[in-house]
Structure 1
Amino acid sequence: MKTKTAPKSVAAATATAPALPDSAPAAVSHKLKVLLVDDHPITRQGMKALVNQQPNLEVCGEADNAPYAIELVGKLQPDLAIVDIALKTTNGIELTKNIKVQAPNLPVLIVSMHDEGLYAERALRAGAMGYLMKQEAGEKIIAAIQRLLQGEIYLSDKIKEKMLHRFVNKKGDNMVFSIDTLSDREMEVFQLIGNGYSTRQIAQKLSLSSKTIDSYREHLKLKLNLESGADLVRHAIQWARNEGSM
């Protein structure tokens, strides 16, 4: 009796086993891909471990220099890039500009040891969507990553307060940054705003969500040193009149 029962249980287990491999890849396929760009292997190792602990994230590639990072952006098509400022061949600010040319919609998070007071605004003007100091706790790094993946900007409270104070105290066209600092996608949104398109209309035209367009509008205000949405619209309309419509 016992010798007959064992084969039946083994057969039953064997019959159900093939269902397991089919379900596992489905969970992995939903993970968002993160590209790490840092010339310190230990830093990359720690960041990789932190990212891979998240249920919706995985590190898809690593680079220690700008040329290889650009290659991986095209090859792996990550959902987000984490870039250090100090790299072997060029700095992370210039790399961010090049990434935004190749992949305008790719969110870039700058994570660096350099003082955010000196580099955060430069990173934003280059096209980054966030800036974070390396000494910040792991939960803040993950919070920044998740914020960028939702199309939002991430800056420390200290930097946001500094920017707001400057916007309030320093006004005038001489403080407006050059339109040339905008990424391809930001320029497209800026032109559409100048041509009278609403947020919903821009979202439909570019096949993006209204929330994403709102994030672009906030990013444009930061880059162009404009205090309000109304200022952004006026600036965009004036630019469109001078440069011509799309």
Structure 2
Amino acid sequence: MTVRILVADDHAVVREGFAALLAAQPDFEVVGQAEDGFSAERLAIELRPDVVLMDIRMPCQDGVTATWQLLRETPDTRVLILTTFDLDAYVYDALRAGASGFLLKDSTAGQVVDGVRVVAAGDALLAPSVTRRLIAEFAARPVAAEPDRLTELTARESEVFVLVARGLSNAEIAAALTVTEHTVKTHVSRLLGKLGLRDRAQAVAVAYESGLVSPRADRSLPRMTPKSRPRSDDRCGHDA
């Protein structure tokens, strides 16, 4: 099965480099390139790629807003965010917007290829270390978000949910709960289904927003929503 990919980055050298890397894979097809968020959104809706490799900082419309918008129109598309964790204050917003994973800008070629494959397969690219760092740096104070949804979970599913949100892998959860890794995968699948979530990435967001797990309050950062983030730039030539 061929994975159809859209690459979005405002730096031509970076964009074309990623496109060339991915196009060289026998099971990948790069169907388009976008130089800003508006173009990424438009092309994703038009081309319906399996995966969008999305830069988070772009002119006209950033990658987070583009992710919000395109996933409303193409819910089967997966978005893999490119970021520098030390600088990007919108990473948590990208998680909330529906991004399925994150790659550091200095990732190796192999990591980029593997990351696209992971996301295309329907999994979330959230290694435990990345999850912990993301939460520590970008999770703002949680806001109550449909707590009634959590009552549908069994006690064991709730335990697993908390551990997923804290960044543990399936193997680590299995060891903590003294169960098999297959059992953990079953619990994760069931809790995602009950909560109407597409993957572990969204599970992390819901766990923190519902208050089931609390981020470090002293590291809270303000977040911008798509409504408050600028939609356009006079220099871009796009309609808002």
TM-score band by shorter chain is: 0.5 to 0.7
Tell me: CA distance 1:217–1:108, structure 2 relative to 1, closer, same or farther (3 Å): closer
- Residue matched to 1:53: 24
3-state SS of the aligned residue for 2:130? Answer: helix
Tell me: CA distance 1:139–1:222, structure 2 relative to 1, closer, same or farther (3 Å): same
- Residue matched to 2:203: 221
- Residue matched to 2:238: none
The structural deviation recorded for 1:56 is 1.1
The 1-side partners of 2:65 and 2:10 are apart by 15
Question: Does the 8 Å contact 1:175/1:225 carry over to 2?
Answer: no
The 2-side partners of 1:114 and 1:161 are apart by 12
- Residue matched to 2:14: 43
| Greater Rg by CA | 1
What TM-score does the superposition give when structure 2 sets the normalisation length? 0.60
Question: Does the 8 Å contact 2:102/2:126 carry over to 1?
Answer: yes
Tell me: CA distance 1:113–1:164, structure 2 relative to 1, closer, same or farther (3 Å): closer
- Give the counterpart letter for 2:15 in structure 1: R
3-state SS of the aligned residue for 2:207? Answer: coil
The 2-side partners of 1:82 and 1:178 are apart by 31
Matching of residues 151-166 of structure 1 within 5 Å = 151-162=122-133
- Give the counterpart letter for 1:222 in structure 2: V
Structure with bigger RCO (C-alpha 8 Å, 6+ apart): 2
The 2-side partners of 1:87 and 1:226 are apart by 27
The 1-side partners of 2:45 and 2:199 are apart by 27
Tell me: CA distance 1:224–1:61, structure 2 relative to 1, closer, same or farther (3 Å): same
The structural deviation recorded for 1:138 is 1.1
Identify which range, 114-123 or 68-77, moves more after superposition.
Answer: 114-123
- Residue matched to 1:124: 95
State the identity as a percent: 24
The 2-side partners of 1:84 and 1:195 are apart by 37
Q: CA RMSD, aligned part only?
A: 3.6
Greater per-residue helix proportion: 1
- Residue matched to 2:41: 70
The structural deviation recorded for 1:163 is 6.0
Matched, 1:176 2:116: no
Tell me: CA distance 1:47–1:125, structure 2 relative to 1, closer, same or farther (3 Å): same
- Give the counterpart letter for 1:91 in structure 2: D
Matching of residues 181-200 of structure 1 within 5 Å = none
Gaps of 5+ in 1: 1-29, 180-186, 200-209, 233-246
The 2-side partners of 1:72 and 1:219 are apart by 24
The structural deviation recorded for 1:114 is 5.1
- Give the counterpart letter for 1:218 in structure 2: R
Instruction: Spell out, residue by residue over 1:67-126, the C-alpha distance to the aligned partner (whole angstroms, 9 max, x if none).
Output: 222221122111110110121202111111111111122110111345277443222112
Tell me: CA distance 1:95–1:163, structure 2 relative to 1, closer, same or farther (3 Å): closer
3-state SS of the aligned residue for 2:4? Answer: strand
What TM-score does the superposition give when structure 1 sets the normalisation length? 0.59
Tell me: CA distance 1:165–1:88, structure 2 relative to 1, closer, same or farther (3 Å): closer
The structural deviation recorded for 1:63 is 0.9
3-state SS of the aligned residue for 2:198? Answer: helix
Identify which range, 109-118 or 151-160, moves more after superposition.
Answer: 109-118
- Give the counterpart letter for 2:203 in structure 1: K
Question: Does the 8 Å contact 2:38/2:61 carry over to 1?
Answer: no
Question: Does the 8 Å contact 1:36/1:83 carry over to 2?
Answer: yes
